[in-house]
Structure 1
C-alpha cells in the first residue's frame, strides 16, 4: 500500500468518529468488520490485524506486516411514546408526545490496524478505533425536553501494542491506550413552570417588582417560553490493556484479554440562553438572574468501565471453525454523572445512572466456501447496564439486546482481501420513569425536577466493509 493511500485511511479514522452506541452503555461495539461478522465472537481467532483490539497476544500469530482499514455504517431506528411526563410541579410537561427521528439516519465509524512481526518472538502493532459514542437529537419541544434535547459523544483511541511468544503454545500481549473524548449535552430550562409555580404560591409579587424596577414589562410573562442550556467538554485519558493466548494445538486456542478503566476530566463550558423566553429582553434578564444560572466553565469527571474477555476458537475441519466470547464489563464504574459549574453559586447537575455490571455472550462460526471465500455468522446477547426504569434517562434509553450477524472474507489476491459484515440488533422495549431530584430556583443543585415517563423502542442495522493487505 502506497504512503498516499495510507495517509488517507489515517485521516478518515481520525475524523469520522461520531457514532451511535450499539453495545452495552455508551460503548461502541464494532471495532472490527471481521469480528462483526461473527457477532464479536472471534477474539481468539487472531486472523488479521484487528487482533490488536481483541487480544494483543494474537499478533504473535501474524506473519510479516499487515494492515486493515475498515468502516462500519450504523443505521438506527428508534421511537419514543410518552406515558405521562411531568414538570417539577407535577403538571403535564406538554410538548410532543412521540418522537421518531431523534437518532441519525446513518452514521459511520472507522477503524485502522497495523501489525509487524519483528522476529520469531516479538511483534508490534497499532490500532485506531472508536470505543464510545452516541448521537441523539430530540425535538426541542418534546415532552422530555427538560431532561434532554440533545447529546453527542465522540471518542477515539490510539492503541500501540506489542506481543511476546516464548514458544508455540503461549503468547502474551500488552498495549497502551490514549483515548480522546468529547461530549455535548443540551436541555430545556423550565421557565414557564417556575413562573406558574410562583403565581400559584403567591410569591410572584417580588418578581413583578424586580421586572418593573429593571424597566421591563410584566405583561410579557403571559407568553413565557423555555430557556435552553448546553454543556460541552473534552479530554484525553490514558489506560492499558493486556492479553494472553494459549494454543495447545494449531487448530485450537483460548484467549483472555483485559482493558483497564480510563479516567476522564471533561473540561469545557456551560451556556444558558434566556434570549427567547419572552419578547422583552429586560424581562429575560431578570428571569435569568432569579434562576441563578450564568455562563461559566463546566467540568465532568468520569471513568470508563474496564472489561475482561474470555474466548476460544477451534478449527473442526478444512471447512468449519467455531468460536465463542464472554465479556464482562464493570459498568458499575458509572454511578452518577455530576456536571459541575466551577466559579458559580450553582450546585451540580446530577444525572443518576447507578449502572450495574454486565455480561455479553457471543457464539460464532466460519465456513470455508472455497479457496477465495470464507463465510461467517454469529449470535450474541448483551445486557444493558440500566438497573430499572426509574434510572433510565433519555440520554441512554438502553435495554438488553440480541445481535444476529453475517459476514464474509474474499481473497482478492494472495496478499489482499475484503471483509463484509451485516448485523441486526433488536432491543427490548425500554420503559423509563426518570425523575430529576432537583428543581428550578435552588442553588444547592441544578435541575428541572422533571419526570420523563414513556417507552423507547429501538432496532438497528450495521453494514461493515474492510480491506486487508499483507506486505
Structure 2
C-alpha cells in the first residue's frame, strides 16, 4: 500500500464514526412518517390497517379493495437538543493529550425537515389489486459548526432516499389477504468532518465523502380479518446499498504530506439498511372504538460496517444492534365525518454505549401522538396529526483516530452527552376513494 493511500485510508477512519447516515427521530436514521393517519395513533396499527396509506408497512393492505384508493401526506419535523462536550481530548503526535477546544455545546444540530409520501391502489375485480407507494424512509440533514467540539466526528451530513414500492395483493378468501412488493431505492449521501493538523496552531483540514446509487429490496405480508379483528404480519427486507462517489481531502499542512490533499473518484461504499418484521393488530372493542397494537423488530445488526472499495479496501465499523419498537393506540369514530386517534410508542436505539458518536446522537425514546380524520365528502378526507418525541439522555463516546497506523496517528478521545433532545412532528394528508 502506498503512503498516499495509507494516509487517505487513515484519514478516512474518522468517517467510521458515522458513515453514510444521518440522525433522525424515529430510530437511528429511519423515518417512519409515511402516513398522517398512522402518525395520529403513534404508528400502532399500520400493518393491520387497509388501503393505500398502509402500503409501506404491509403490501397485503390493499387486497380485496373495491375502489381506487389514493393518499398523500407530508410531515414537518422539528427536532431540538444539545450535544455537549464532557472532556473530549485530542492526542497529537509527540504532544500530551489536550482538550479538543471549540464550542462546548452544539445546539440543535439536526435540521428541520419536510418528509413527503404518497400511495395509490387500483383493484382488478374483487380479488386482485396493484399499488404504488413513494416514500423517503431514510432522509435527514445534520450540521455542526466548524468550531464545534464535535467537528472531528461530524460537520455536515445529508442523506436523501426515495423508495418506490410497486405492490401486488390478492384476497384468496373472505378472511385472508396476501401481498408482495419490490422496493426500488435511490440513496444520495454527503458527509464531512474536520481533520486535525499536527500543530494545534494550524487550521483544521477537511474531508468530504459523497455518492449515490440505486438498489433493490422486497416486502411481503399477510392480513387475517374477521368481524372484530384484523391481524397483519409483514416483512421488509434489508437493502444492501452500493454508492459510488468521491472522497475529497483538503487543508492538510506539513509535516503531514500535502500530497494527501486529494480527490479519490469512483470510490464505492457499501452498507445495509435494516430488515423489519412487523406484527400488528386492530380490534373493535365497541362500535365506535378500535384498539391498535404494533411491534416491530429492526435488524440493525446488519449495519455492522461501511465497506469502502479500492483504493481504500477497508471496513469502517458501526456495530449497531437489533432493536424494537412497541406501540398502542386507538381510533374513535365520533361521527361518520370525524374520527379521532391517539397513541404512544416506545423504541430503543440500535446505537450502543461506548460506540455512539455526534453524527448519530440517538437514544431510546417515547413518541406520543394524537390526530384524526375529517371526511369532507364520503370519498375525500383530510388526515392530521401531531407527535411529541421525547429522547432519553445518552452518552456520545465513540473514540476515533486520524491517520491511524501512521507515525502521525492522532487519537480523538470523545466524551460527550446528548441532553434535552425532543422533536415535534406535524403531519397533514389527504385521501380519496373512487
TM-score, normalising length from structure 2?
0.89
Q: Are positions 1:118 and 2:124 aligned together?
A: yes
Q: Are positions 1:42 and 2:45 aligned together?
A: yes
Contact 2:219 2:234 (8 Å CA) reproduced: yes
Relative distance call for 1:93 and 1:349 in structure 2 (3 A) is: farther
Relative distance call for 1:236 and 1:172 in structure 2 (3 A) is: same
Q: How many residues align?
A: 408
Cα offset for 1:63? Answer: 2.4
38-47 or 77-86, which deviates more: 38-47
Contact 2:294 2:328 (8 Å CA) reproduced: yes
Aligned to 1:449: 411
Aligned to 1:211: none
CA distance in 1, matches of 2:107, 2:224: 48
Aligned to 1:195: 199
Contact 2:103 2:147 (8 Å CA) reproduced: yes
Contact 1:291 1:441 (8 Å CA) reproduced: no
Point out the structure with max Rg over C-alpha: 1
Q: Are positions 1:302 and 2:267 aligned together?
A: no
Q: Are positions 1:88 and 2:94 aligned together?
A: no
Contact 2:65 2:126 (8 Å CA) reproduced: no
Question: Deviations for 1:184-241, whole angstroms, at most 9, x for unmatched residues?
Answer: 11111101xx236xxxxxxxxxxxxxxxxxxxxxxxxxx4211111110111110110
Aligned to 1:99: 106
265-274 or 39-48, which deviates more: 39-48
Cα offset for 1:80? Answer: 1.3
CA distance in 1, matches of 2:373, 2:404: 59
Contact 2:338 2:373 (8 Å CA) reproduced: yes
- Please list, as runs of the form range in 1=range in 2, the aligned pairs for 1:212-251 lying within 5 A after superposition: 223-247=201-225, 249-251=226-228
Unmatched 5+ stretches in structure 2 = 1-20
- Please list, as runs of the form range in 1=range in 2, the aligned pairs for 1:39-188 lying within 5 A after superposition: 39-89=42-92, 90-104=97-111, 106-188=112-194
Cα offset for 1:290? Answer: 5.3
Greater strand percent: which structure? 2
Relative distance call for 1:272 and 1:41 in structure 2 (3 A) is: same
Contact 2:47 2:278 (8 Å CA) reproduced: no
CA distance in 2, matches of 1:112, 1:101: 29
Describe the SS at the equivalent of 1:413: coil
Relative distance call for 1:117 and 1:347 in structure 2 (3 A) is: closer
Q: Are positions 1:258 and 2:235 aligned together?
A: yes
Cα offset for 1:369? Answer: 1.0
Cα offset for 1:439? Answer: 3.3
Contact 2:64 2:128 (8 Å CA) reproduced: no
Contact 1:20 1:107 (8 Å CA) reproduced: no
CA distance in 2, matches of 1:380, 1:427: 12
Aligned to 1:408: 372
CA distance in 2, matches of 1:172, 1:448: 55
CA distance in 1, matches of 2:395, 2:166: 41
Relative distance call for 1:86 and 1:167 in structure 2 (3 A) is: same
Aligned to 1:385: 350
Contact 1:28 1:132 (8 Å CA) reproduced: yes
Contact 1:39 1:378 (8 Å CA) reproduced: yes
CA distance in 2, matches of 1:151, 1:82: 20
Higher relative contact order by CA 8 Å / sep ≥ 6: 1 or 2? 2
Cα offset for 1:387? Answer: 2.0
Unmatched 5+ stretches in structure 1 = 1-17, 197-222, 278-283
CA distance in 2, matches of 1:331, 1:402: 19
Contact 1:435 1:449 (8 Å CA) reproduced: yes
TM-score, normalising length from structure 1?
0.83
